[in-house]
Amino acid sequence: MALMLAGIFTRFLLIALLMLPVSLVAAKDMVSVNEAPLRIAVASNFAPTLKQLLARYNPNQKQFLAPILIAASSGTLFLQIEHGATFDVFLSADSERPQLLSTSDLAVKDSLQTYAFGQLALWSAKGHIDSDLLVALNNNKQRLAIANPRIAPYGKAAKQVLESLQRWDDYKNRLIQGINIGQTFQQTRSQAVNLGIVSNSQLVLNNFKGVLISSHLHQPIKQQLVILKHSKKIAQAERFVTLLMSKQAQQFIVESGYASSSEISANE
């Protein structure tokens, strides 16, 4: 009898133990769906600006919790999202990938927006270059670093700039191609290459000055975002996007070295 009681007791205990994780998960879900911070997948080139922007405009986490930023190349983040990575918002360095996510129904409908326009600059870490873009390009007899035009939006735009100025044929056999604009900046900064077409935001961030490249020489580098459909924090994600698209945040982004949308629309 005692044995049987003990048996029942053990069984009860076992069931209780088995149920424990279930109840914990349920309790956690109830609190955390709204409370957990956003996971934002952000293209590496925008990550520093985003960090500063969040510190400035959401310091007390009143609108949303301090998000977790996952910074990598847009291509890598896109692949991860396609294969089930649990991000809430995707800030890409291009427009192609967010649009693909929209059409393949992985993004929240109508969440696609342009949050920044890339601004190119010609820059040398070695010293002075002519302030006239064409003269500076003509003076350079050595190699030129650009991001890979085939895979990086800033590289595609850099190629368009060289084509617009009819310098592509001159340069196409002496290009150093970085996998993304971050690598191009690094290669130019190391002085391993004399001259590079880099992103102005990298120069602003590091207090360097280059020759700004007018955005009418290339198609706009639209950096777009989407909210991801499987997110369980869509309301919080929308608050984040509202902040990012607000007038003050957009102004801050332009000050950080991106092109302003008014300049772009003037060219279009």
Partner 1 sequence: MSNSHPDMLALITTLKMAGLTTVILMLIGTPLAWYLAKMQSRAKVFIEALVALPLVLPPTVLGFYLLLLFSPQYLPGQIWQQATGQQLAFSFSAIVIGSVLYSLPFVVQPLQKAFEQLGDDLLEAAAMLGASAIDRFFTIVLPITKASFITAASLGFAHTVGEFGVVLMIGGNIPGETRVLSIALFDHVEAFDYAQAHIISISLVICSLILLSLIYLLNRPKKSQPVLSKRFS
- List contacts with partner 1 (CB under 8 A): 73, 75, 79, 143, 145, 148, 150-151, 175-179, 183, 186-187, 190-193
- Among residues 39 and 189, whose Cβ is nearest to partner 1? 189
DSSP-derived letter for residue 217 is G
d(CA 197, CA 188): 9
For the CB of residue 159, give the shortest distance to partner 1 in the complex, in Å. 14
- Among residues 67 and 196, whose Cβ is nearest to partner 1? 196
Q: Is 179 annotated as a binding residue?
A: no
- Among residues 62 and 150, whose Cβ is nearest to partner 1? 150
Instruction: Please say whether the beta carbons of 73 and 97 come within 8 A.
Output: no
- Among residues 59 and 84, whose Cβ is nearest to partner 1? 84
d(CA 114, CA 213): 20
* DSSP track, 177-211: EESSHHHHHHHHHTTSSSEEEEEHHHHHHTT---E
For the CB of residue 240, give the shortest distance to partner 1 in the complex, in Å. 27
Q: Is 181 annotated as a binding residue?
A: yes
For the CB of residue 176, give the shortest distance to partner 1 in the complex, in Å. 4
d(CA 201, CA 206): 9
For the CB of residue 77, give the shortest distance to partner 1 in the complex, in Å. 12
Tokens 């109830």 -> residue? 30
Residues forming the annotated binding site? 74, 181
